[in-house]
Amino acid sequence: MNERIVKVGLVGFGTIGSGVAKLILEDGDSIAKRIGVRLELACVVDIDTTTPRPVKLPDGILTNNLDRLLNDDSIEIGIELIGGTTIAKEVLIKMLQAGKDVVSANKALLAEHGNELYSIARQNNKCIAFEASCAGGIPLISTIRGGLTANNITAMYGIVNGTCNYILSNMTACDEDFSVALEQAQKKGYAELDPTLDINGSDSAHKLAILASIAFGCEINLEDVYCEGIEQISRDDIRNGNEMGYCLKLLAIAQKDKQNNVTLRVHPSFISKENHLSRVGGPFNAISIFGSAVGQILLYGRGAGMMPTASAVVADIIDVALGNSKTTFQNLSIRSKSEAGISIETIDNQICRFYIRIMCQDKPGVFAQLSKVLAEHNISISGLLQHEGIGPDNTVPVVIVTHQTLQKNITAALEDMEKLEGIGGKPACIRIVDIPEDKD
Amino acid sequence: MNERIVKVGLVGFGTIGSGVAKLILEDGDSIAKRIGVRLELACVVDIDTTTPRPVKLPDGILTNNLDRLLNDDSIEIGIELIGGTTIAKEVLIKMLQAGKDVVSANKALLAEHGNELYSIARQNNKCIAFEASCAGGIPLISTIRGGLTANNITAMYGIVNGTCNYILSNMTACDEDFSVALEQAQKKGYAELDPTLDINGSDSAHKLAILASIAFGCEINLEDVYCEGIEQISRDDIRNGNEMGYCLKLLAIAQKDKQNNVTLRVHPSFISKENHLSRVGGPFNAISIFGSAVGQILLYGRGAGMMPTASAVVADIIDVALGNSKTTFQNLSIRSKSEAGISIETIDNQICRFYIRIMCQDKPGVFAQLSKVLAEHNISISGLLQHEGIGPDNTVPVVIVTHQTLQKNITAALEDMEKLEGIGGKPACIRIVDIPEDKD
C-alpha cells in the first residue's frame, strides 16, 4: 500500500502529550500498516523544553515557539493538549486560523467555549475532533455520533470522573473517611494536588455538557448542569446506604422526556447494587446510554491516564487524517435550544427518591416532629433505619428513604427539620437514582 | 440545512428488514435533522410480498423483483438482510456490480466469503459496511476500527450469542436442565425453532472470525476458529462451578501473543464470578477488548432483536451516506496471514485450567488411579470437590480443577481415565478462562 504521510504538531508536552508522542513515535509503523497513513510528529511545542519526559523525541522537534507549528504549511493537524481555558483557547483558534484541523482533549475549554470554537472552525473550513475530552480511552463521542446515530437518545447515566470513583470506591471498600481516601488517591496519582475541579463535580459537569450537546443536538451551557460534589460525603452514609442495598457513585445524568424537557445533573447518587454501574470500581469510568432503537448500551474503560487518553487522541488524529472527522464535524448539528425545541428543567422541579440522615436526640417526640414535617411537605416514607445504641452526644442517626418526591419539597422539608428542637445540625441528604435496566 | 436525499433499497423483509424500514420511515425526520441527510426507502425486495409485517410500507415500494433495485441508478445503497450464504451472496455481488454501496448484517456470509466479497467491492470501487453482523446494536466493529485504531489489540473475550447466554443464565439462575432452558428461550423468541447454529457455537464462531480479522488486520477463516457448543452442558457442572466461584458462559476468545501467535476459540467457559462478563445476563452480549494503549474496554448491549440490530444497520447506512464508510473500507487492511506475520495456534497447543467431573464408583483405590493418570500426563491439581453421599448407581461425582495445562495433555488424560475401572462414562471437561482484569 502506498503510504500517505500526514504531519502533525503537538502543543502541550505534559502527561497526555508525552503519551501521544510515544504512540506516534513508537507505534507509527503498525498504525501505518493498519490505516495506510503514516503520522509524522513534526514539532512539539511547550514553554518548558528542559524537564525530562517519559518519551524521547527526535532531535530538533521540541520548541517553545508556537509559530514553528503555525507557519509550517506542511503540518495538517494541530493537537491542543495544554489544558485550561485561556492560553489553550488562543492556541486552538490560532491553529484553526493557520489552516490546521485540530484535535483537543480539553473538556473545560469545549464545555465553556465549544460553540464559539466550532463556529471559528467552520468559518475556516476546518474541523475539531475531541473524543479524548470525555472519558479518556472510551470511544464515547464516536459511539453517540456514529454507532447510535439512528437513535433518539433519551438518557445517559455515567461515572465519568475516575478520581471521585476511586475515592468513593475506597471509602466503600475500606470504610474510610473522605480525607483518607482523597490522600490515598493523591498518592496513587489519581487525584491532583489541588483536586477541587474533580471532587466538586465540575469535571463531570464539563463532560456531561459536551456529551449532552452531542446526544441531544443542542447547545448546552455549563449553567444548564446542576452540580454537587462529593466533599461532604460521610462514610456513615455510605455504610447505611450499603445496608439498604445501595452503592454510592458520583453520577452525571442527562435525561430527555417526550416533551423534550432535558434534565442535566451531577451529584452523589445511591444506585442499586444490582446495577452494572455499581460494579465500576477504582479509577474506571462507565456510562449507560439509552437509545430509542438500541435500548441500553454500556461502555466501560479507563477514563483518564497517559496511554488511555493518548489512545483516544491518536484515534482522533487518524480520523482527521482519513478525512472522516471533517464529514462528521460538518454534519455535527448543534442547534440552539429553541431551534431544537428543548427546554432545561431546573433542579427544583426534578423528582427522585431521597436518602435523608438526621441526627436525633434520643428522647420522646423527636420522630413525631420529623414525620410531621415530612407530611406537611407531602413526602411519603418508603424505608426507615435506626440502629439501637446512642452516640456520645446522646444523638442517634435516623435514616429515612422517601418515595418519589419533588426536589423543592425536600429542600423545604430539610430547612424545617433543621429548625426542630432535638435535631443535631443539618440533615445529610443524598439522591437515590433508579437507573432503568433493560431486561429481557 | 440543505438536506441531501440518499435513496436506499432493501432486500429481505424479515424481522430485521422490518425494523430497518420502520426506523427509516418513522424516524427519517429526526435522523435528517441530526445528520443533514434524508434517507429515502426507494424499494423493498422480498419473495414474500403478502405476509403482514410490523411496519406499513408506502404503496408500491414492496416488490419481488430484484431488478427494480439493481436497475434504478438513483438508489445509492443496497441493504442485504436475506440471511444465509447462497442467495444472499449472489444478491450482494449483484448490488456491488450494479454500482451500489452495500450494508449487510450477514455474519455467516461475511465469515465464510468476506475476503471474496471485499475484493469484488474494491474492484467496483464500492464499500461494504457490516456493523450489524456482530453483536447487534453494540457498535463493536466501529469501536475496533475507529476508537481503538491506535491500539495493538491483544485479546478479546466476548459473549456474542444471546441465545446461549439466555439459556446458560436460566440454567444457572433456576438450576434447570439444558432442554428446559432451551424450550424457554424458544418460547421467548430468543432461540429459533432449529437452534443448531446458535447452540453449537457456529454463530459465535462466525462473529469471532469477523472481529478477529478486523482486530488483527488479517484474513481469518472459519476453520481457524476452534468451536464447541453448549449442548452437552449439565446443570450439575454449572452448580459445581458456582460453588467453586465460577460462572458458566459461552465465550468467543481471540488472543495474540508477542510472537503474533493467534488463538481463536469458542467454547463453554467457567469465568470468575468477580469478572464483569459474569454479570451479563439473559440475551445480552458483552465483549472485553484489550488494547496496548487503552487497556481494557468493555461494551455491553443487546446483541440481537429487531430494533437493536436495525439501529446498527441504519447507523451503517448513514455512515455510507456521509461517505465515511468508503474511507474506512478503503483503509481496511486485511492482509493474508503470511503478510501479517500471523500464525494460528491449534487448540492442542493451548494452555488453560480445566474443570473435570468424573463419576467414580464409591470404592477404595479409584481416586488413586485418577491421580496417577493425571500425574502421568503432567497435570497438577489445583482444587477438588467431592460431596458426601452416594448416587443411585453407587457413583459419586468427583470434581478436579487443574492448574494451567496443555490441552493435548488433558485430552490424553481424559482418554486414559475413561478406560479405568470404577469410572462411569466419559468425564465432563470444561475450560476455566482467567480473563485478565485491568485493575488500578
CATH of the domain at B235: 3.30.360.10
Closest by Cβ to B327, choosing from A283, A286, A324: A324
One domain, residues B112 and B214: no
CB contact under 8 A, A33 and B315: no
Pair A248, A176: CB distance under 8 Å: no
How confident is the prediction along chain B (440 residues), in pLDDT tens digits per residue?
A: 468 999 999 999 999 999 999 999 999 999 998 888 999 999 999 999 999 999 999 999 999 999 999 999 999 999 999 999 999 999 999 999 999 999 999 999 999 999 999 999 999 999 999 999 999 999 999 999 999 999 999 999 999 999 999 999 999 999 999 999 999 999 998 998 999 999 999 999 999 999 999 999 999 999 999 999 999 999 999 999 999 999 999 999 999 999 999 999 999 999 999 999 999 999 999 999 999 999 999 999 999 899 999 999 999 999 999 998 988 888 777 889 999 999 999 999 999 999 999 999 988 899 999 999 999 999 999 999 998 888 778 889 999 999 999 999 999 999 999 999 889 889 999 999 999 987 76
CB contact under 8 A, A34 and B149: yes
What does the pLDDT read at residue B2?
Answer: 64
| Inside any domain, residue B324 | no
Whether the per-residue pLDDT at A1 is higher than 60: the answer is no
One domain, residues A129 and A148: no
| Inside any domain, residue A313 | no
| Inside any domain, residue B279 | yes
Whether the per-residue pLDDT at A392 is higher than 90: the answer is no
One domain, residues B121 and B173: no
CB contact under 8 A, B34 and A333: yes
Half-sphere exposure of B243 (CA within 13 A, CB side): 16
One domain, residues B166 and B294: yes
Q: What percent of chain A has pLDDT over 90?
A: 88
| Inside any domain, residue B311 | no
Q: Mean pLDDT of all residues in chain A?
A: 95
What does the pLDDT read at residue B363?
Answer: 86
Closest by Cβ to B331, choosing from A36, A307, A440: A36
CB contact under 8 A, B300 and A300: yes
What does the pLDDT read at residue A363?
Answer: 85
Please provide the DSSP assignment of B315-345 as one string.
HHHHHHHHTHHHHHHHT---B-HHHHT-EEP
Pair B167, B304: CB distance under 8 Å: no
Minimum Cα–Cα distance from B322: chain A residue: A327
Closest by Cβ to A327, choosing from B1, B282, B322: B322
One domain, residues A115 and A148: no
Closest by Cβ to A331, choosing from B36, B284, B297: B36
Whether the per-residue pLDDT at A419 is higher than 80: the answer is yes
pLDDT tens per residue across span A314-353: 999 999 999 989 888 887 778 899 999 999 999 999 999 9
Closest by Cβ to A295, choosing from B23, B188, B308: B308
Q: How far is A137 from chain B (nearest CA, A)?
A: 6
| Inside any domain, residue B318 | no
Minimum Cα–Cα distance from B305: chain A residue: A294
| Inside any domain, residue A321 | no
One domain, residues A287 and A216: yes
Q: Select the more confidently predicted residue: A79 or B326.
A: A79
Last residue of a domain, one of A86, A109, A133: A133
One domain, residues B369 and B280: no
pLDDT tens per residue across span A246-300: 999 999 999 999 999 999 999 999 999 999 999 999 999 999 999 999 999 999 9
Last residue of a domain, one of B244, B268, B303: B303
CB contact under 8 A, A146 and B166: no
Of B322, B320, B334, nearest to B130 by C-alpha is B320
One domain, residues A102 and A175: no
With contacts defined as CB-CB under 8 Å, which chain A residues touch B302?
Answer: 294-296, 438
Q: How far is B273 from chain A (nearest CA, A)?
A: 12
What cell does B282 get? 439473559
One domain, residues A237 and A292: yes
What does the pLDDT read at residue A2?
Answer: 64
The Cα B280–Cα B424 span in angstroms is 35
One domain, residues B21 and B119: yes
Q: How far is A139 from chain B (nearest CA, A)?
A: 5
Q: How far is B24 from chain A (nearest CA, A)?
A: 9
CB contact under 8 A, A142 and B147: yes
What does the pLDDT read at residue A3?
Answer: 81
With contacts defined as CB-CB under 8 Å, which chain A residues touch B151?
Answer: 311
With contacts defined as CB-CB under 8 Å, which chain A residues touch B139?
Answer: 143, 146-148, 297
The Cα A7–Cα B121 span in angstroms is 31
The Cα A126–Cα A77 span in angstroms is 10
Last residue of a domain, one of A133, A150, A169: A133
Crossing angle of helices B178-188 and B162-174, rounded to 10° = 130
With contacts defined as CB-CB under 8 Å, which chain A residues touch B320?
Answer: none
Whether the per-residue pLDDT at A44 is higher than 70: the answer is yes
* 3 state DSSP class of A44: strand
CB contact under 8 A, B34 and A149: yes
Pair A330, B333: CB distance under 8 Å: no
**pTM, entire model:** 0.95
| Inside any domain, residue A334 | no
CB contact under 8 A, B293 and A327: no
Pair A244, A385: CB distance under 8 Å: yes
Please compute the mean of the pLDDT values over residues A48-69 and round it to a whole number.
97
CB contact under 8 A, B315 and A148: yes
What does the pLDDT read at residue B388?
Answer: 84
State the residue range of the domain holding A365.
348-432
Q: Cell 448513514: give the residue.
A: B318
Half-sphere exposure of B145 (CA within 13 A, CB side): 28
Residue at A248: amino acid letter: L
CB contact under 8 A, A311 and B152: no
Residue A398: phi, psi to the nearest 5?
A: -110, 125
Sign of CA dihedral B7, B13, B19, B22: positive
Best to test chain B binding among A8, A20, A35 (most B CBs inside 10 Å): A35
- Grade residue A156 by pLDDT with cuts at 50, 70 and 90: very high
What does the pLDDT read at residue A213?
Answer: 95
- The domain tally of chain A equals 3
Query: Is A188 a known active-site residue?
Result: no
What does the pLDDT read at residue A391?
Answer: 76
Q: How far is B102 from chain A (nearest CA, A)?
A: 17
Question: What is the count of residue pairs from A and B with beta carbons less than 8 Å apart?
Answer: 207
Pair B16, B313: CB distance under 8 Å: yes
One domain, residues B65 and B162: no
Q: How far is A212 from chain B (nearest CA, A)?
A: 14
The DSSP call for residue B233 is: -
CA B67 vs CA A124, A174, B95, B172, B283: distances in Å? 45, 68, 10, 50, 38
Out of B22, B207, B249, B256, the active site residue is B207
CB contact under 8 A, A440 and B27: no
Q: How far is B280 from chain A (nearest CA, A)?
A: 9
CB contact under 8 A, B307 and A301: no
Whether the per-residue pLDDT at A388 is higher than 60: the answer is yes
CB contact under 8 A, A190 and B440: yes
One domain, residues A182 and A82: no
- Grade residue A427 by pLDDT with cuts at 50, 70 and 90: very high
Pair A29, A323: CB distance under 8 Å: no
pLDDT tens per residue across span A157-209: 999 999 999 999 999 999 999 999 999 999 999 998 999 999 999 999 999 99
Minimum Cα–Cα distance from A439: chain B residue: B282
| Inside any domain, residue A400 | yes
Return all residues near A115 (Cβ < 8 A) that are at least 6 apart.
A219, A334
Closest by Cβ to B295, choosing from A19, A137, A328: A137
Work out the end-to-end distance of chain A between its first and last CA atoms, rounded to an integer number of angstroms: 47
CB contact under 8 A, A331 and B322: yes
With contacts defined as CB-CB under 8 Å, which chain B residues touch A23?
Answer: 150, 293
What does the pLDDT read at residue B33?
Answer: 87
With contacts defined as CB-CB under 8 Å, which chain A residues touch B282?
Answer: 439-440
Q: How far is A180 from chain B (nearest CA, A)?
A: 18
Minimum Cα–Cα distance from B34: chain A residue: A333
With contacts defined as CB-CB under 8 Å, which chain A residues touch B4?
Answer: none
With contacts defined as CB-CB under 8 Å, which chain B residues touch A36?
Answer: 330-331, 333
Minimum Cα–Cα distance from A304: chain B residue: B294
Strand partners, A5: A38
